[in-house]
């Protein structure tokens, strides 16, 4: 059994974790979603800290398993995932790239300023109506575009 001779670096681990996607929105990584909070390496033992989105989010367990599984594939066996509630996750933690990925996937990204209109991810129209405050998951609401008539998910602002 040969072990890697160079010690693990935190930036290397972070780069690997860039491939771990949100299980419910598989186009955005947990890093771009702002769920990945911290990575520390101590003596080749990796400690990954994540911030849950919603308190009851059922995807958190899958995310933890995915993190362990991903790092195992890179030969890292000693991984501990800690779920932390402080600081509380907010949608401000979603990166610019993450917002673009949501939009391209057909999910309107959370508003950056309140009072702005929510625009349709299909045609860009701001003539949209809220159909239901909850969409397919706790983090989304259901909207409809009054111009192209397509319904779409809006990633709710959570600050």
Partner 1 sequence: MNKAIEHYLLRLADTALTQSQRIAEWCGHGPFLEEDIALTNVALDLLGHAKLLYEQAAEVSEQDVSADDLAFLRDVDAFKNPILTELPRGDFAFTTLKQYFVDQFNVLLYQALMDSQYQPLSDIATKALKEVRYHLTRSRDWCLRLSLSTDEAKQKMQAALDDLYFYTPELFETDDQLNQLMAESIIPDMSALHNQWQQQVDELLNKCQLKTPTSGWLATGGLRGEHSEHLGYMLADMQFLQRAYPGCEW
Residues that bind partner 1 (CB under 8 A): 52, 54-58, 85-86, 88, 90, 131-138, 142, 156, 158-159
Strand segments (E) across 51-100:
79-83
Residue 154, judged by CB atoms within 10 A of its CB (0-12, 13-18, 19+), counts as: buried
Q: Which does 142 bind (CB under 5 to 8 A by kind): partner 1, Zn ion, none?
A: partner 1
Minimum distance from CB of 131 to Zn ion (Å)? Answer: 14
Closest approach of Zn ion to the CB of residue 116, in Å? 16
**Residue 59: which of Zn ion, partner 1, none does it interact with, CB under 5 to 8 A by kind?**
none
- The single-letter DSSP state of residue 67 is H
- Cα distances from 76 to residues 21, 38, 82, 153, in angstroms, run 19, 17, 17, 37
Q: Which of 61, 52, 17 is nearest to 139 (CA)?
A: 52
Tokens 């160079």, residue located: 6
43 binds, among Zn ion, partner 1, none (CB under 5 to 8 A by kind): none
Which residues of the chain form contacts with Zn ion (CB under 5 A)?
A: 120, 122-123, 125, 145, 147-148
Of residues 8 and 57, the one with the C-beta less far from partner 1: 57
């Amino acid at each position: 059994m040969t072990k890697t001779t160079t010690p693990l670096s935190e930036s290397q681990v972070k780069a690997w974790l860039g491939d771990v996607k949100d299980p419910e929105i598989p186009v955005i990584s947990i890093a771009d979603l702002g769920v990945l909070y911290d990575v520390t390496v101590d003596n080749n033992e990796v400690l990954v800290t994540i911030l849950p989105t919603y308190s009851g989010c059922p995807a958190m367990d899958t995310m933890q398993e995915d993190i362990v599984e991903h790092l195992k594939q890179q030969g890292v066996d000693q991984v501990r995932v800690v779920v932390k509630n402080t600081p509380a996750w907010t949608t401000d933690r979603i990166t610019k790239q993450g917002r673009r990925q949501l939009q391209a996937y057909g999910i309107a990204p959370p508003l950056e300023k309140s009072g702005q209109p929510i625009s349709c991810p299909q045609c860009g129209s701001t003539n949209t109506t809220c159909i239901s405050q909850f969409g397919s998951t706790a983090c989304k609401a259901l909207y409809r575009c009054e111009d192209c008539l397509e319904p779409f998910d809006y990633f709710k602002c959570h600050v």
